[in-house]
Chain A
Amino acid sequence: MARTAPVRDFAPTVQKLRLKYAKRGRLRFSSHRDFQRAFERALRRANVPIAFSTGFSPHPKVSYNNAAPTGTASEAEYIEIGVTVECDPDRIRLALDEALPPGLDIVDAVVSNTPDFAARLEASQWRLEFPGVAHAELSTVVEQFMDQAEVLVERLMKTGIRTFDARSAVVFAEVLDEAATPGDPECAILALVVRHSTPAVRPDDVLAALRRVADLVPPTPVRVTRLAQGPLAPDGQGVGDPFALDRG
């Protein structure tokens, strides 16, 4: 006998909101699924009138974009939610930020006024800290990498090991003239702008590529932070604010 979903009253979505959140400090070790669970609980704690899908197991209407990998910090992750009553984005931002554990922070919110938000997230700007690697050494390695037209790397995906190019998506790479922490000069910092593609080229893939072209093996794990996502800037050295159009 086929089961039919129980008939329930579901209030329709009347408004969509776009949120920007950060994943900081030790909570960078949370996975995307960890964030999802935490966020759905935060919606309940913050009393957000979230819309639900219909069906056997209704789930809150939340869509997630390009989640940063586990272990990677981020200042710019994006989600979109649907609510059943019109809400004030500032109050939503504050209430959700309060309801999430420190380290998962809602940093911006706008009412969604424009279509095709996902397409606006063209590229990511990354910061990679290399403890124990000198500025000069990294500069040489990065130069060698950028000189290549293509650097093939391998990654284990759901469908098995896949080989792809980690070079062409990197539109900008520069070793910065600053120390990560004062008094710790042996920590080179790499700024990257990477265009979103399929498969997505992640910082890990770039690191694999640096190893491939110049045998760079950092002595301790590289600390990675996504600084921004958005439309690629005309000069190719950064990204713009994806909420600009919604703010009008």
Chain B
Amino acid sequence: MTVMDSRVKGASIFNEIEALLPMVSKPIQYVGGELNAVVKPWESTDVRWAIMYPDAYEVGAPNQGVQILYEVINELPNALAERTYSIWPDLEKLMREAGVPQFTVDAHRSVGDFDLFGLSFSTELGYTNMLTAIDLAGIPVYAKNRTIDHPVVIAGGHAAFNPEPIADFIDAAVIGDGEEAVLKLTELVQQWKNDGQPGGRDGLLLSIATSGVAYVPKFYDVSYLPDGRIQRVVPTNPDVPWRVAKHTLMDLDAWPYPKAPLVPLAETVHERMSVEIFRGCTRGCRFCQAGMITRPVRERSISTVAEMIDNGLCKTGYQEIGLLSLSSADHSEIAEMSKALADRYEGDQTSLSLPSTRVDAFNIDLANELSRNGRRSGLTFAPEGGSERMRNVINKQVTEEDLIRTVSTAYGAGWRQVKLYFMCGLPTETDEDVLQIAALAREVIRAGREAAGTKDIRCTISIGGFIPKPHTPFQWAAQLDHETTDARLRKLKEAIRADKQFGKAIGMRYHDGKPGIVEGLLSRGDRRVGKVIHQAWLDGARFDGWSEHFSYERWMSAAEVALADESVDVDWYTTRERQQTEVLPWDHIDSGLDSEWLWEDWQAAIAETGVGDCRWTPCTDCGVCDQMGTDIQVGPTGITELPMPIVRPSVVN
């Protein structure tokens, strides 16, 4: 009998883990014990979820999606949810030697003991970490080898909108907002258990697939044309839907999660009280997958936001408030909200930040509210494209005057440092478009010095490589090869360095183009790419989002081996432009976007023409609301007074 067999299902294995912790770096990340963590007795529940953010604890613990689902599930009397994160290679090695499985940080139970294992993917670069976790949990890596004793592995998050590259490793994928989906899945598992597990594991998977709550890849067959393109994707069972639709949570005021945010002991990337002030974005930036797949805009009201913050600060002790969304300054009540919150927390050492602010929605009043308590978090704007032409292509309708006015406002209001985010490798881009970034940065410094009345200001430009994403107008576009990307960035760098007058005030941050190619492969890949992921993982790929762990060469050699018998290669997936008639790997995943509309928007991009935002201009017929039966939910509510704060007990004499 092996060590693993002797364990009682659901029992804590903390003593086994504890023996290894003194030998690893940052052991605190594996022990749990966060403020507001929930541990329910195993036997008191029927449906047990292990949920994972497949990256290191310091990145995964603050993730809002995981925290929300954790609470939503734990509020159910018949279910429990515990969290697990990626194990760093130092501990992974010790765990393999000692036969210790992937564990949850809440009650340190083996992940293999749970009924459901849900993973939230913000990025495709977490795929290899998923394989490590599945394997460490003692679950077969390929879904087809799993038995009734293994958890149902479910992917979610934005990357799940194209689940095909991981179709062989997951049992199901939830598309869209997870809140209602996890409730439905919990119900299905409970029902299946009550009924005596009819049909075994496949019986459960079939009930999931036919209910439409999630996509179950095993019930779909993919066939290919001789040239490598997909011929068709067909359901293999008459009861499963041809296309699986995304979930859309309506009325965010009815779902004020997280109510008790987790406060980790370990240092993490975001240590603040984050409240999502709205979900969705209809600005229509053509590169932005998040903006396309989360439509329509659904705002949370000023009252709910204020209540969530007050309650959250009481429960966490955080001293920073983050108003999250895809473009926070676009909230219909942002001015009232930021003023009222700044009033309430003035003199309380609590700062307010808007992590995502559009250039054209920022103004002096907002700038002043954000800096009232004296703390200034950094300001980042994302013009994305350096030239006006490029911004028309991507439908980022921000003019140079907008940008200069905005940053001048910020510099004039006392900010000394502004970050600007751009992309390189956008469709139709030339060297000249990218060099315009330098010209823009120079103008920012010139105008900024004037507004600030000092030369002591800086501007950092941060550049990311563009990666075409599924369910966007650019899903058909060719990705720029990494050699050209790197060459353009070099020219830009030289242009900045050559500028004697302003160059020293401009910093430039960028990554080379190689990781983007791997992300591009995983983003727009089909089921054949699964073999590449598996091979790369076998070859040691872990933590691919971390430059110190990522290896382009490892991925390329894995692709060569894994795709040896196929008529396609990495370039075919990445730098190849698709035609309108091509069946895309994610066509059977319904994001609500009308594919005709997407194609027309792609043509409009090439023609450099813009499209409006349906919050302020007439509906552009993207198709989402019709298809999904949803509608825009925006204020203003007209309310400017915040609800009364919670009264807290006093410790003074």
- A residues lining the B interface (CB < 8 Å): 1, 6, 8-9, 26-27, 29-31, 33-34, 37-38, 40-49, 52, 57-58, 70-71, 85-88, 91-92, 95, 99-103, 220-221
Contact = CB atoms under 8 A, between A and B. Distances in A.
Given A8-B374, A57-B375, A70-B27, A87 B265 contact: no
B317 A41 contact: yes
Interface residues of B, number: 38
B225 interface: no
Contacts of B648: 47
B652 A26 contact: no
A30 B265 contact: yes
A85 B649 CA distance: 15
B33 interface: yes
A28 B367 CA distance: 42
Most buried by A among B19, B33, B34, B263: B33
A85 B652 contact: yes
Contacts of A26: 14, 18, 31-33
B641 interface: no
Contact of B651 (A8, A29, A33, A88): A88
Interface string B1-29: 00000000000001000110111000110
Interface in B30-57: 30-35
Most buried by B among A29, A40, A71, A86: A29
A102 B349 CA distance: 26
Given A37-B267, A101-B35, 20 more contacts: A8-B347, A8-B374, A9-B347, A26-B32, A26-B33, A27-B265, A30-B265, A34-B265, A38-B263, A41-B316, A41-B319, A45-B317, A47-B648, A85-B652, A86-B652, A100-B35, A101-B33, A101-B263, A102-B33, A221-B23
Contacts of A6: 374
B266 A34 contact: yes
B31 A71 contact: no
A44 B313 contact: yes
A49 B653 CA distance: 11
B40 to A, nearest CB: 16
Nearest to B652: A85
Nearest to B29: A29
B318 interface: yes
Contacts of B653: 85-88
Nearest to B454: A1
A92 B31 CA distance: 27
A220 B23 CA distance: 10
Contacts of A44: 313, 317-319
B314 interface: yes
Interface in B635-653: 648-653
B271 interface: yes
B456 interface: yes
13 contacts: A6-B374, A26-B32, A38-B265, A40-B317, A41-B35, A41-B317, A44-B313, A44-B319, A45-B317, A49-B652, A71-B21, A92-B651, A101-B265
Contact of A30 (B28, B318, B456, B649): B28
Top 3 A-B pairs ranked by shortest CB distance?
A: A41-B317, A45-B317, A44-B317
B457 to A, nearest CB: 10
B339 interface: no
B317 A43 contact: yes
Interface string B338-373: 000000000101000000000000000000000000
B315 interface: yes
A101 B317 contact: no
